[in-house]
Amino acid sequence: MDFMSGFTAAKQAYDLLKLIKESHDQAIISGAIGDLHGKITELQMLNAKLSGLYQSERDVAVKLREEKAKIEMFTVKAENYELHTTEGGSTVYRSKKPTGSTIPHHHLCTHCYSNSVISILQPGISTTKSAGYFVHYCPQCKNEYRMGKLPPVKPVSVRFPY
């Protein structure tokens, strides 16, 4: 958009008004009134364009503010986690534990973490184990992770009725 054309149109409209006011020739006045109508329409169109532009700039500013708040919140939360490789060989983020704490660790999805999303892994529902390890999944992106080793299977004693 050419902002200068707005100034030019406004200046021309002003000159036309001056001409209408100062002229004593009816033909010149009529011509100037016609031109003035054209200039007013031009300025109105420019005004509509500018308010559209202003609105879209405001929308962008709002989105950027929201994005910034999300990243700030993520940064605060992310400090409580560190990279960890599970027994099953998966790389996840694990909650840091203050020494002596008995609260068990919880784990985050690394894929979501790289997108600034904190997503806590949950035990699998359709797949609960794989190759001797428990499987946890990410509720956000549905990635699956091999976690701790499955407990050894106890031998089943079969008692015969004789």
Q: Which residues bind Zn ion (CB under 5 A)?
A: 109, 111-112, 119, 138, 140-141
Q: How far is the CB of 142 from Zn ion (least distance, A)?
A: 7
Sign of the CA dihedral with 44 first, then 48, 49, and 55 last: positive
Q: Which is nearer to Zn ion, 16 or 112 (CB)?
A: 112
Name the amino acid, one letter, at 105: H
Q: Which is nearer to Zn ion, 78 or 150 (CB)?
A: 78
Q: Which is nearer to Zn ion, 16 or 138 (CB)?
A: 138
φ, ψ at 61 (rounded to 5°): -60, -40
Q: How far is the CB of 126 from Zn ion (least distance, A)?
A: 16
> CA triplet 35, 39, 43: central angle to 5 degrees?
170
Name the amino acid, one letter, at 60: V
Q: How far from each other are the two terminal CA atoms of the chain, in whole angstroms?
A: 97
Q: How far is the CB of 120 from Zn ion (least distance, A)?
A: 10
Q: Which two tokens stand for residue 109?
A: 């999805």
Which one, of 104, 103, 139, 133, lies nearest residue 119 by Cα?
A: 139
Q: How far is the CB of 113 from Zn ion (least distance, A)?
A: 8
Q: Which is nearer to Zn ion, 62 or 141 (CB)?
A: 141
Which one, of 124, 152, 120, lies nearest residue 137 by Cα?
A: 124
Q: Which is nearer to Zn ion, 31 or 124 (CB)?
A: 124
Q: How far is the CB of 143 from Zn ion (least distance, A)?
A: 5
